[in-house]
Amino acid sequence: MFQVNSQNKNQINFLNILISLIPLTLILGNLATNINIIFIIVTGTILFGKEIFLVKKKIYAFLIYSFFFFLIINTFFNNLLYFEETKHQEHIIKSLFYLRFLFLFLIINKLLETKKFNINIFFYSCAFFSFLISVDIIIQFIFKSNLIGYKIISNKPSSFFGEELIAGGYLQRFSLFLIFFIFLKYMPKKNQNLFLIFLFIIFLIPIVLTGNRMPTLVMILSFFLYYLIQKKIKEILIILTLIVVSVPLLDKLYDQKKFNVDLNDFFVNSYSILINTPKLFFFVNIKASEFLTKFISVI
Protein backbone atom coordinates (compact mmCIF):
# COMPACT_ATOMS: atom_id res chain seq x y z
CA MET A 1 0.00 0.00 0.00
CA PHE A 2 1.35 3.41 -0.98
CA GLN A 3 2.30 5.60 1.98
CA VAL A 4 3.12 9.32 1.98
CA ASN A 5 6.31 10.39 3.74
CA SER A 6 8.61 13.40 3.71
CA GLN A 7 10.74 11.86 0.96
CA ASN A 8 7.99 11.25 -1.59
CA LYS A 9 5.96 14.36 -0.71
CA ASN A 10 8.24 16.43 -2.96
CA GLN A 11 7.81 13.87 -5.74
CA ILE A 12 4.03 14.15 -5.43
CA ASN A 13 4.24 17.96 -5.67
CA PHE A 14 6.57 17.73 -8.67
CA LEU A 15 4.24 15.24 -10.36
CA ASN A 16 1.26 17.55 -9.85
CA ILE A 17 3.21 20.45 -11.36
CA LEU A 18 4.10 18.35 -14.41
CA ILE A 19 0.45 17.39 -14.93
CA SER A 20 -0.63 21.02 -14.56
CA LEU A 21 1.81 21.92 -17.37
CA ILE A 22 -0.08 19.76 -19.90
CA PRO A 23 -2.20 22.71 -21.17
CA LEU A 24 1.01 24.71 -21.76
CA THR A 25 2.92 21.90 -23.47
CA LEU A 26 0.02 21.30 -25.86
CA ILE A 27 0.42 24.91 -26.97
CA LEU A 28 4.20 24.55 -27.34
CA GLY A 29 3.85 21.49 -29.58
CA ASN A 30 4.27 17.71 -29.75
CA LEU A 31 7.91 17.69 -28.64
CA ALA A 32 7.18 19.61 -25.43
CA THR A 33 4.08 17.47 -24.78
CA ASN A 34 5.95 14.18 -25.23
CA ILE A 35 8.87 15.32 -23.07
CA ASN A 36 6.44 16.33 -20.33
CA ILE A 37 4.61 12.98 -20.57
CA ILE A 38 7.94 11.14 -20.26
CA PHE A 39 8.79 13.13 -17.12
CA ILE A 40 5.33 12.31 -15.70
CA ILE A 41 5.77 8.60 -16.46
CA VAL A 42 9.28 8.43 -14.97
CA THR A 43 8.32 10.40 -11.85
CA GLY A 44 5.08 8.46 -11.37
CA THR A 45 6.77 5.08 -11.85
CA ILE A 46 9.48 5.94 -9.32
CA LEU A 47 6.84 7.18 -6.89
CA PHE A 48 4.24 4.39 -7.13
CA GLY A 49 6.23 1.49 -8.56
CA LYS A 50 4.18 -1.57 -9.52
CA GLU A 51 1.10 -0.14 -7.82
CA ILE A 52 0.29 2.02 -10.86
CA PHE A 53 -0.98 -1.14 -12.61
CA LEU A 54 -3.50 -1.84 -9.84
CA VAL A 55 -6.75 -0.03 -10.64
CA LYS A 56 -9.42 -0.20 -7.92
CA LYS A 57 -12.32 0.19 -10.33
CA LYS A 58 -12.21 -3.15 -12.17
CA ILE A 59 -14.39 -1.91 -15.02
CA TYR A 60 -11.91 0.94 -15.69
CA ALA A 61 -9.03 -1.51 -15.66
CA PHE A 62 -10.81 -3.84 -18.07
CA LEU A 63 -11.76 -1.04 -20.49
CA ILE A 64 -8.40 0.74 -20.56
CA TYR A 65 -6.28 -2.42 -20.86
CA SER A 66 -8.63 -3.90 -23.47
CA PHE A 67 -8.51 -0.73 -25.55
CA PHE A 68 -4.72 -0.59 -25.74
CA PHE A 69 -4.41 -4.35 -26.24
CA PHE A 70 -6.90 -4.18 -29.11
CA LEU A 71 -5.16 -1.14 -30.64
CA ILE A 72 -1.73 -2.79 -30.68
CA ILE A 73 -2.91 -6.23 -31.82
CA ASN A 74 -5.12 -4.76 -34.55
CA THR A 75 -2.32 -2.52 -35.85
CA PHE A 76 0.16 -5.40 -35.72
CA PHE A 77 -1.98 -7.78 -37.79
CA ASN A 78 -3.06 -5.08 -40.26
CA ASN A 79 0.59 -4.31 -41.02
CA LEU A 80 2.24 -7.71 -40.54
CA LEU A 81 1.93 -8.84 -44.17
CA TYR A 82 3.59 -5.64 -45.37
CA PHE A 83 6.21 -5.45 -42.61
CA GLU A 84 9.04 -5.11 -45.13
CA GLU A 85 7.71 -1.67 -46.13
CA THR A 86 8.91 1.25 -44.02
CA LYS A 87 5.51 2.86 -43.54
CA HIS A 88 4.03 -0.34 -42.10
CA GLN A 89 6.95 -0.70 -39.71
CA GLU A 90 6.28 2.88 -38.60
CA HIS A 91 2.60 2.06 -37.95
CA ILE A 92 3.58 -0.77 -35.60
CA ILE A 93 6.15 1.36 -33.79
CA LYS A 94 3.65 4.22 -33.39
CA SER A 95 1.08 1.85 -31.90
CA LEU A 96 3.65 0.85 -29.25
CA PHE A 97 4.31 4.51 -28.47
CA TYR A 98 0.60 4.91 -27.72
CA LEU A 99 1.37 3.02 -24.51
CA ARG A 100 2.64 6.31 -23.06
CA PHE A 101 -1.00 7.38 -22.77
CA LEU A 102 -1.79 4.16 -20.89
CA PHE A 103 0.94 4.97 -18.36
CA LEU A 104 -0.26 8.58 -18.17
CA PHE A 105 -3.77 7.38 -17.36
CA LEU A 106 -2.53 4.88 -14.75
CA ILE A 107 -0.39 7.48 -12.96
CA ILE A 108 -3.15 10.11 -12.85
CA ASN A 109 -5.59 7.40 -11.72
CA LYS A 110 -3.23 6.43 -8.89
CA LEU A 111 -2.94 10.06 -7.80
CA LEU A 112 -6.73 10.25 -7.68
CA GLU A 113 -7.05 6.95 -5.81
CA THR A 114 -4.54 8.06 -3.17
CA LYS A 115 -6.17 11.52 -3.03
CA LYS A 116 -2.88 13.22 -3.89
CA PHE A 117 -3.99 14.86 -7.11
CA ASN A 118 -3.88 18.64 -6.68
CA ILE A 119 -7.04 19.56 -8.56
CA ASN A 120 -6.69 23.27 -7.75
CA ILE A 121 -3.35 23.80 -9.49
CA PHE A 122 -4.59 21.87 -12.54
CA PHE A 123 -7.77 23.97 -12.68
CA TYR A 124 -5.78 27.20 -12.39
CA SER A 125 -3.51 26.10 -15.23
CA CYS A 126 -6.41 25.12 -17.52
CA ALA A 127 -8.26 28.33 -16.65
CA PHE A 128 -5.29 30.60 -17.36
CA PHE A 129 -4.27 29.08 -20.70
CA SER A 130 -7.82 28.74 -22.01
CA PHE A 131 -8.45 32.41 -21.18
CA LEU A 132 -5.18 33.36 -22.91
CA ILE A 133 -6.10 31.39 -26.04
CA SER A 134 -9.61 32.94 -26.10
CA VAL A 135 -8.27 36.48 -25.96
CA ASP A 136 -5.58 35.69 -28.53
CA ILE A 137 -8.13 34.21 -30.97
CA ILE A 138 -10.26 37.34 -30.85
CA ILE A 139 -7.21 39.60 -31.27
CA GLN A 140 -6.00 37.53 -34.22
CA PHE A 141 -9.42 37.57 -35.87
CA ILE A 142 -9.79 41.36 -35.52
CA PHE A 143 -6.21 42.47 -36.24
CA LYS A 144 -5.21 39.51 -38.50
CA SER A 145 -2.21 38.89 -36.23
CA ASN A 146 -2.00 37.43 -32.72
CA LEU A 147 -0.04 38.54 -29.64
CA ILE A 148 3.26 37.09 -30.87
CA GLY A 149 2.80 38.01 -34.53
CA TYR A 150 1.31 34.83 -36.03
CA LYS A 151 -0.81 35.78 -39.04
CA ILE A 152 -4.36 34.52 -39.48
CA ILE A 153 -4.71 31.60 -41.95
CA SER A 154 -7.66 31.46 -44.40
CA ASN A 155 -9.59 33.80 -42.11
CA LYS A 156 -9.41 31.13 -39.38
CA PRO A 157 -7.54 32.24 -36.24
CA SER A 158 -5.17 29.57 -34.91
CA SER A 159 -3.71 31.55 -31.98
CA PHE A 160 -0.31 30.20 -30.82
CA PHE A 161 -0.74 26.96 -32.81
CA GLY A 162 0.45 28.58 -36.04
CA GLU A 163 -0.41 26.51 -39.11
CA GLU A 164 -2.25 23.90 -37.02
CA LEU A 165 -5.92 24.89 -36.99
CA ILE A 166 -6.70 23.24 -33.67
CA ALA A 167 -7.29 26.24 -31.39
CA GLY A 168 -11.03 25.53 -31.25
CA GLY A 169 -10.48 21.97 -30.05
CA TYR A 170 -8.02 23.13 -27.41
CA LEU A 171 -10.42 25.79 -26.18
CA GLN A 172 -13.41 23.46 -26.14
CA ARG A 173 -11.56 21.03 -23.87
CA PHE A 174 -9.89 23.40 -21.45
CA SER A 175 -12.33 26.33 -21.28
CA LEU A 176 -14.82 24.06 -19.50
CA PHE A 177 -12.40 23.97 -16.57
CA LEU A 178 -12.38 27.77 -16.36
CA ILE A 179 -16.14 28.08 -16.80
CA PHE A 180 -16.99 25.63 -14.04
CA PHE A 181 -14.13 26.86 -11.83
CA ILE A 182 -15.61 30.37 -11.87
CA PHE A 183 -19.09 28.91 -11.56
CA LEU A 184 -18.24 26.88 -8.44
CA LYS A 185 -15.86 29.32 -6.74
CA TYR A 186 -17.00 32.85 -7.41
CA MET A 187 -20.43 32.97 -8.97
CA PRO A 188 -23.27 34.33 -6.78
CA LYS A 189 -26.16 31.92 -6.26
CA LYS A 190 -28.67 34.48 -7.46
CA ASN A 191 -29.10 34.18 -11.25
CA GLN A 192 -26.33 31.57 -11.24
CA ASN A 193 -27.53 29.82 -14.38
CA LEU A 194 -27.67 33.06 -16.37
CA PHE A 195 -24.09 33.85 -15.36
CA LEU A 196 -23.06 30.38 -16.53
CA ILE A 197 -24.78 30.97 -19.88
CA PHE A 198 -22.90 34.29 -20.15
CA LEU A 199 -19.54 32.56 -19.57
CA PHE A 200 -20.49 29.87 -22.05
CA ILE A 201 -21.22 32.46 -24.77
CA ILE A 202 -17.92 34.26 -24.08
CA PHE A 203 -15.98 31.08 -24.83
CA LEU A 204 -18.26 29.84 -27.59
CA ILE A 205 -17.55 32.95 -29.69
CA PRO A 206 -13.78 32.31 -30.13
CA ILE A 207 -14.46 28.60 -30.78
CA VAL A 208 -16.91 29.54 -33.56
CA LEU A 209 -14.36 32.02 -34.95
CA THR A 210 -11.78 29.23 -35.37
CA GLY A 211 -14.15 27.41 -37.73
CA ASN A 212 -13.56 24.09 -35.96
CA ARG A 213 -16.85 22.25 -36.43
CA MET A 214 -16.67 19.43 -33.89
CA PRO A 215 -15.47 21.59 -30.96
CA THR A 216 -18.33 24.02 -31.63
CA LEU A 217 -20.90 21.23 -31.56
CA VAL A 218 -19.34 19.49 -28.53
CA MET A 219 -19.23 22.77 -26.59
CA ILE A 220 -22.90 23.46 -27.30
CA LEU A 221 -23.98 19.88 -26.59
CA SER A 222 -22.01 19.83 -23.31
CA PHE A 223 -24.04 22.69 -21.94
CA PHE A 224 -27.25 21.38 -23.48
CA LEU A 225 -26.79 18.07 -21.63
CA TYR A 226 -25.86 19.88 -18.41
CA TYR A 227 -29.07 21.90 -18.41
CA LEU A 228 -31.08 18.91 -19.61
CA ILE A 229 -29.93 16.99 -16.53
CA GLN A 230 -30.72 20.04 -14.38
CA LYS A 231 -34.12 20.34 -16.10
CA LYS A 232 -33.62 24.07 -16.75
CA ILE A 233 -36.05 24.75 -19.59
CA LYS A 234 -35.18 28.44 -20.04
CA GLU A 235 -31.46 27.70 -20.36
CA ILE A 236 -32.15 24.79 -22.75
CA LEU A 237 -34.07 27.17 -25.01
CA ILE A 238 -31.10 29.58 -24.98
CA ILE A 239 -28.73 26.75 -25.94
CA LEU A 240 -31.04 25.63 -28.75
CA THR A 241 -31.13 29.21 -30.01
CA LEU A 242 -27.32 29.27 -30.05
CA ILE A 243 -27.29 26.05 -32.06
CA VAL A 244 -29.62 27.60 -34.64
CA VAL A 245 -27.53 30.80 -34.79
CA SER A 246 -24.07 29.14 -34.92
CA VAL A 247 -24.39 27.44 -38.32
CA PRO A 248 -25.49 30.59 -40.24
CA LEU A 249 -22.75 32.55 -38.44
CA LEU A 250 -20.12 30.09 -39.60
CA ASP A 251 -21.58 30.31 -43.09
CA LYS A 252 -21.14 34.10 -43.12
CA LEU A 253 -17.65 34.08 -41.63
CA TYR A 254 -16.14 31.68 -44.16
CA ASP A 255 -16.26 30.95 -47.85
CA GLN A 256 -19.72 29.47 -48.49
CA LYS A 257 -18.59 26.84 -51.00
CA LYS A 258 -15.80 25.57 -48.76
CA PHE A 259 -18.09 25.69 -45.74
CA ASN A 260 -20.68 23.54 -47.51
CA VAL A 261 -18.00 21.02 -48.53
CA ASP A 262 -16.62 20.87 -44.97
CA LEU A 263 -20.11 20.48 -43.51
CA ASN A 264 -20.93 17.71 -45.97
CA ASP A 265 -17.65 15.90 -45.17
CA PHE A 266 -18.42 16.21 -41.48
CA PHE A 267 -21.81 14.51 -41.78
CA VAL A 268 -20.56 11.85 -44.24
CA ASN A 269 -17.63 10.89 -42.00
CA SER A 270 -19.81 10.97 -38.86
CA TYR A 271 -22.28 8.60 -40.52
CA SER A 272 -19.42 6.35 -41.61
CA ILE A 273 -18.10 6.17 -38.03
CA LEU A 274 -21.54 5.20 -36.68
CA ILE A 275 -21.92 2.47 -39.29
CA ASN A 276 -18.37 1.07 -39.11
CA THR A 277 -17.75 1.11 -35.34
CA PRO A 278 -19.59 -2.21 -34.72
CA LYS A 279 -17.78 -3.76 -37.71
CA LEU A 280 -14.42 -2.68 -36.27
CA PHE A 281 -14.99 -4.50 -32.98
CA PHE A 282 -16.50 -7.60 -34.56
CA PHE A 283 -13.55 -8.00 -36.94
CA VAL A 284 -15.43 -7.53 -40.19
CA ASN A 285 -13.34 -6.37 -43.15
CA ILE A 286 -12.36 -2.87 -42.03
CA LYS A 287 -8.95 -1.58 -41.04
CA ALA A 288 -8.46 0.38 -37.82
CA SER A 289 -6.31 2.89 -39.72
CA GLU A 290 -9.20 3.68 -42.11
CA PHE A 291 -11.57 4.11 -39.18
CA LEU A 292 -9.15 6.44 -37.33
CA THR A 293 -8.65 8.53 -40.47
CA LYS A 294 -12.38 9.22 -40.68
CA PHE A 295 -12.59 9.84 -36.94
CA ILE A 296 -9.77 12.40 -37.03
CA SER A 297 -11.33 14.13 -40.05
CA VAL A 298 -14.54 14.65 -38.07
CA ILE A 299 -12.70 16.12 -35.10
- Do 133 and 79 lie in one domain? The reply is no
Encoded amino acid at 203, one letter: F
- Do 65 and 142 lie in one domain? The reply is no
Which tops the pLDDT comparison, 85 or 23?
Answer: 23
- Do 132 and 250 lie in one domain? The reply is yes
Q: Containing H/E element for 211?
A: none
Work out the number of other CB atoms within 10 angstroms of the CB of residue 218: 17
Domain total for the chain?
A: 2
Domain encompassing residue 35: 6-113
pTM of the model: 0.76
Contact 160, 146 (CB under 8 A): yes
| pLDDT surpasses 50 at 48 | yes
- Do 153 and 49 lie in one domain? The reply is no
pLDDT at position 296, please?
Answer: 44
| pLDDT surpasses 70 at 263 | no
Task: Mean pLDDT check: name the lowest of 23-27, 65-69, 95-99, 157-161.
Answer: 95-99
Instruction: Judge whether 185 lies within some domain.
Output: yes
- Do 144 and 96 lie in one domain? The reply is no
How would you class 146 by CB atoms within 10 Å of its CB: exposed for 0-12, middle for 13-18, buried for 19 or more? buried
Which tops the pLDDT comparison, 223 or 133?
Answer: 133
Quick check: helix, strand or coil at residue 255?
Answer: coil
Quick check: helix, strand or coil at residue 2?
Answer: coil
